[in-house]
Amino acid sequence: MEVWTIANQKGGVGKTSTTVALAGIAAAAGQRVLMVDLDPHGSLSMYFRQEPDYTHKSTYTLFEKRNRLNKELLLSLIRKTPLPTLHLLPAATALATLERQMHACDGLGLVISRALELIKEDFDLVILDCPPVLGVLMINALAACQQLIIPVQTEYLAIKGLERMLHTLKMLGRSRPTPLSYVVVPTMFDRRTSASVQSLRALRNEYGDCVWKGKVVIDTRIRDASKAGVPPNLFSPHSSAVECYQRLYDQLACHEILTDGEHRCAS
Ligand SMILES: Nc1ncnc2c1ncn2[C@@H]1O[C@H](COP(=O)(O)OP(=O)(O)OP(=O)(O)O)[C@@H](O)[C@H]1O
Ligand SMILES: [Mg+2]
């Protein structure tokens, strides 16, 4: 089982869309895929028509029952989606209360990695969708994954936000046994606007090899797919954003995008 985390402390940069797009493509290729919603706002869950307000069986349950979690309980939390090989562990708004509990409880940072260990034979790929905050949920995701994908919208403020994310990564990296490989993925690129073109250029100049050589273009079908509640590759297989995500998936799946402990990468 491989675990990928999609994270960025900046909001609205395409984390959830990237999660669904990559997961949909992997599932269509026959992989047994689990998407895990770690965001108390539950956008990923709502994408698949699961209301986080009413979800008792959720990622929160993993934290709540962390001392008596077993495989059967964990599997009972997982929902089906329109693709038979694509599954979802939905979020609950109660996840927002974890931050307060973090100070009182030890071992909260490894709940997700321990849970995934129980089902490592049941899924080929797990994708963790993070909230846009550095907190216990993102720390769990970073501890549990082998690959980090950082979507960055091609606009000035989002690039500024990346600095913060990479700084966080450096600090957290010190407590990991193995270095975390990461790749920055430019998203919502609009070649018609000079702001987007200039931002992409700045991103590549500043972060060089850490940035994926491709980019995800802006495409209204990403929004339409979320409205329809199906992954973009099912909704509109030949749309331009799906083609971008397919290229990204192919490179990630073949480990063509590799990073080392110095956080350098090449694609
Ligand atoms: N390539 C794209 N083309 C057009 N719209 C997009 C694209 N990618 C994402 N969007 C839209 O941008 C909005 C924000 O995307 P998304 O929810 O994936 O971001 P996020 O980083 O998960 O946000 P949050 O930080 O709130 O969790 C959504 O409405 C989504 O449909
Ligand atoms: Mg999101």
* Ligand 1 atom nearest 132 alpha carbon: 25
Under the banding of pLDDT at 50, 70 and 90, the label for residue 59 is very high
Task: Report which bound ligand comes closest to the CA of 236.
Answer: 1
For the chain, which residues make up each domain, given as ranges? 2-266
Residue 265 CA, ligand 2 centroid: distance in Å:
25
- CA pair distance 186, 216, nearest whole angstrom: 6
Residue 21 clears pLDDT 50, i.e. is over it:
yes
User: Is there an atom of ligand 1 within 6 Å of 216 CB?
Assistant: yes
- How far is residue 209's CA from residue 256's CA, in Å, rounded to a whole number? 13
Superfamily of domain 2-266: P-loop containing nucleotide triphosphate hydrolases (3.40.50.300)
Task: Give the integer Cα–Cα distance in Å for 191 and 224.
Answer: 21
Q: Which is nearest to 148 in space by CA: 36, 257, 262?
A: 257
Q: Each residue of 68-77: pLDDT tens digit?
A: 999 999 999 9
Instruction: Report the separation in Å between the CA atom of 211 and the middle of ligand 1, taken as the mean of its atom positions.
Output: 19
Q: Is 187 in the pocket of ligand 1 (CB under 6 A)?
A: yes
- Helix then strand then coil, in percent of the chain rounded to 5, is 50, 15, 35
Query: 3-state class of 108 per DSSP?
Result: helix
**Smallest-distance ligand from the CA of 37:** 2
DSSP letter for each residue of 172-207: HHTT-SSPPEEEEEEESB-TT-HHHHHHHHHHHHHH
- Give the model confidence (pLDDT) of 125-162 as tens digits: 999 999 999 999 999 999 999 999 999 999 988 888 89
The residue nearest atom 31 of ligand 1, judged by CA position, is 223
This prediction's pTM: 0.95
What distances in angstroms separate CA 114 from CA 6, 31, 34, one per listed residue? 19, 22, 15
